[in-house]
Amino acid sequence: MLTNTNKKLAPVVLAIVMVSLVAPRAQAIPPDPDNAALLYYQGFLSLAELDDDARDLLGDVARGKVDPNDRVREYLDQCQGGIEFAEAAAEVPNCHWGFRFSQGFDALMPQLGQARALTFVLMADARVRAADGDYRGALERCLMTETFSRHIGDDTLISYLVSIAVKAMGYRCMDDVVGQAVDDAPLLEWLKRELSTGSGYEVSPVRPLKFEREIALDTLRMEKIDHFITITNEMDEDVQAKIKARTSEEELALGRRLYSERAILALEILAADGSYEETFTQLERLSEDLDPNAPGEWAAGLLMPAIGRIYNLKTRSVSDARAIRIGVEICLQRAKTGQLPKALPAGSPKDPFSGKEFAYERTDGGFVLRCRAKEMKTERLHEYAFAVK
């Protein structure tokens, strides 16, 4: 009876059945977040509420000042939920914290304190793993800080500074673990590959400096002067009143011009990629000769970031990254030949402070890599000790 019609309708009916059966099931389990920040926020909420002593102990273990003990293991067990969220976040390429640029300098960044706490937990966990002989697991945790650092990002200069600090902690832990795993050539080869495989994006002070210039120019306006004085943390009402009385639109216009010129100069100096000493000296000069008694200059000076110091941290981060690469190469030679090399491996990257090769010294306990020039202003000479067991 319905032969021909059935033939025509059969595919339609089949399609209806397929769609009605398959589509609801495909939608039954929605995908995980494609924004790492959402996972980190959950991780922060899942960290154990630790008292000051517990937090200090975790911090000391994370920095390698104290060996892991049972209490630390217990704290880490309590933080396992947070660690798992961080592991999941490390697999997600994109990370947007939802920073409210519209709020200008008044915008809140509560995630940064939490990010530091999570870093301590991750690094304490790495130290525990290393203490248990799980060097691969420990190094994987250290490498997580590279991703975490990139995820913390450079939306603002403060985010950038925290990002650099997180990465530095990971490098310090790696320096310690690599020396313990000196006989494991395959592991060192793996680490060498991991370190040479960049994520494709390096956090930089350039991006936030551009954003903050726009925010500063928007802030230095008469209609926002009350708010500006409030957010400068000046609590004395008399001082606030004096600042307000002496400030005029002309003064703020001068402040805007000074700030803008110096921010642009800072960007040019950073882009020029000169020597460390030359760059630092030029950047430091940008914060000088602003009269704190002239309201416009005072305001510009207040908003001008300590760009010289920020550049110091950037250079230190480059130095840390290069030192660990060289350290791994030296340990690899030790694993292959049974002896530490007499000189730095050929083609080793340079110390960014001096532009020369790192100083290399074999010691009783292992070896040390040392920068050949001090960090300016702090007068610190950076060195990296690798204890080889």
Residue ranges that bind another protein, judged by CB under 8 A: 1-5, 9, 12-13, 15-16, 19-20, 23-24, 27, 44-49, 52, 78, 81-82, 104-110, 112-114, 116-117, 156-158, 161-162, 165, 231-233, 305-306, 309, 313
| Nearest residue (CB) to another protein, 150 versus 309 | 309
Query: Closest by alpha carbon to 246, among 227, 262, 229?
Result: 229
What is the identity of the amino acid at 348?
A: S
Smallest distance from another protein to CB 73, Å: 17
Smallest distance from another protein to CB 337, Å: 39
Token readout for 290 is 């602003």
Smallest distance from another protein to CB 110, Å: 5
Smallest distance from another protein to CB 44, Å: 6
Phi and psi (nearest 5°) for 361? -135, 130
Given a contact cutoff of 8 angstroms between Cβ atoms, the answer to whether 42 and 85 are in contact is yes
Cα Rg of the chain (Å, integer): 27
| Nearest residue (CB) to another protein, 285 versus 356 | 285
| Widest pairwise Cα distance in the chain | 100
| Nearest residue (CB) to another protein, 103 versus 199 | 103
Instruction: Write down the residue that tokens 């999941």 correspond to.
Output: 88
| Nearest residue (CB) to another protein, 120 versus 353 | 120
Q: Which CA distances in Å does 6 have to 1, 20, 47?
A: 9, 20, 62
| Nearest residue (CB) to another protein, 117 versus 143 | 117
| Nearest residue (CB) to another protein, 49 versus 70 | 49
Pairing relationship of beta strands 383-387 and 359-362 according to DSSP bridges: unpaired
Q: Which CA distances in Å does 35 have to 1, 58, 83, 93, 373?
A: 58, 28, 17, 8, 41
Smallest distance from another protein to CB 51, Å: 10
Q: Which CA distances in Å does 69 have to 191, 197, 226, 338?
A: 27, 34, 52, 32
Smallest distance from another protein to CB 124, Å: 15
| Nearest residue (CB) to another protein, 23 versus 239 | 23
What one-character DSSP code corresponds to residue 291? Answer: -
CA 310 from chain center: how many Å?
Answer: 13
| Nearest residue (CB) to another protein, 210 versus 336 | 210
| Nearest residue (CB) to another protein, 305 versus 366 | 305
Phi-psi region of 366 (alpha: psi -120 to 50; beta: other; left: phi over 0): left
Strand, coil or helix: 239: helix
Smallest distance from another protein to CB 50, Å: 9
Given a contact cutoff of 8 angstroms between Cβ atoms, the answer to whether 146 and 170 are in contact is yes
**Residue 93 neighbours by CB under 8 Å, 6+ apart:** 36
Smallest distance from another protein to CB 357, Å: 27
Distance CA 385, CA 370 (A): 9
Distance CA 259, CA 287 (A): 10
Smallest distance from another protein to CB 170, Å: 16
Smallest distance from another protein to CB 387, Å: 25
CA angle 72, 179, 176 (to 5 degrees): 40
| Nearest residue (CB) to another protein, 172 versus 334 | 172
Residue 28 burial (10 A CB sphere; 0-12, 13-18, 19+):
exposed
